[in-house]
C-alpha cells in the first residue's frame, strides 16, 4: 500500500483524502460507479430483453395480437421512459448510479428538453442499421475533445458528471 501511495504522490503530488475521489473521477467515475458499470449494462441491455422475448414468444397462434402489443410495449416503453427521464432531469436510474447526466452542449446548466432527448434516443438504433456508422458512434468519444458520441453531436448534447 505504501508503494502504491508513493507512486501516486510522484504522479499527482501530495494527496489528501478528498483528492483520491478526484483522481478516481478522472478515470471514469467513482469506484462504485466503475464496479457497477458491467452489471448496469447487462441489466439494461441483455437480461430484460431475453426474459421479455421468452415471455412474448411462448404460446400458440391465438396470442399473435398479444405478441404484437407486447413487442410494441417492449420497445416503446423503455424508449418513452428514457426520453422523459433525460428531458426532465437529464438522468436515468443508471446514470444516477454512475453520477453522470445528459445536458445541452454549450450550456451544461440547462436540461436537454424533449426534442433533444427524443433525438438522442432514436438516432443510435438507426446508426446501427448499417454496421460502420454504429461502430463509429461508439468509438467517436475516443478521439473527440468533449468525448461525445455521434448521436450526442447530432442531438446537441453532452454527458457530464452530475
Mean pLDDT by 10 residues, the chain (162 residues): 50 46 48 60 62 67 70 83 93 89 86 92 88 90 90 91 84
How much is the pLDDT for 72? Answer: 79
Q: What is the pLDDT of residue 61?
A: 63
CB atoms within 10 A of CB 37: 15
Angle at 24 (CA atoms; ends 18, 26), nearest 5 degrees: 110
pLDDT of residue 22: 45
Q: In this predicted structure, what is the pLDDT of residue 45?
A: 60
b/e per residue 114-150 (b: at least 16 CB within 10 A): eebbbbbbebbeebeeeeeebeebeebeeeeeeebbb
Question: Using an 8 Å Cβ cutoff, are 34 and 21 in contact?
Answer: no
Residue whose entry in the numeric block shows the C-alpha cell 445536458: 103
pLDDT at 59: 62
Whole-model pTM: value is 0.61
Amino acid at each position: 500500500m505504501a508503494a502504491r501511495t508513493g507512486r501516486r504522490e510522484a504522479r499527482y503530488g501530495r494527496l489528501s483524502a478528498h483528492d483520491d475521489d478526484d483522481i478516481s473521477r478522472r478515470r471514469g467515475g467513482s469506484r462504485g460507479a466503475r464496479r457497477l458499470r458491467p452489471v448496469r449494462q447487462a441489466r439494461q441491455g441483455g437480461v430484460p430483453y431475453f426474459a421479455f422475448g421468452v415471455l412474448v414468444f411462448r404460446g400458440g397462434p391465438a396470442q399473435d395480437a398479444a405478441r404484437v402489443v407486447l413487442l410494441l410495449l417492449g420497445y416503446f416503453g423503455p424508449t418513452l421512459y428514457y426520453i422523459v427521464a433525460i428531458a426532465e432531469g437529464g438522468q436515468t436510474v443508471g446514470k444516477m448510479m454512475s453520477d453522470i447526466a445528459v445536458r445541452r452542449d454549450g450550456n451544461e446548466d440547462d436540461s436537454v428538453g424533449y426534442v433533444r432527448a427524443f433525438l438522442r434516443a432514436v438516432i443510435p438504433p438507426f446508426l446501427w442499421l448499417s454496421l460502420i456508422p454504429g461502430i463509429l458512434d461508439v468509438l467517436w468519444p475516443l478521439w473527440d475533445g468533449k468525448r461525445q458520441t455521434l448521436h450526442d453531436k447530432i442531438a446537441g448534447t453532452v454527458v457530464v458528471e452530475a
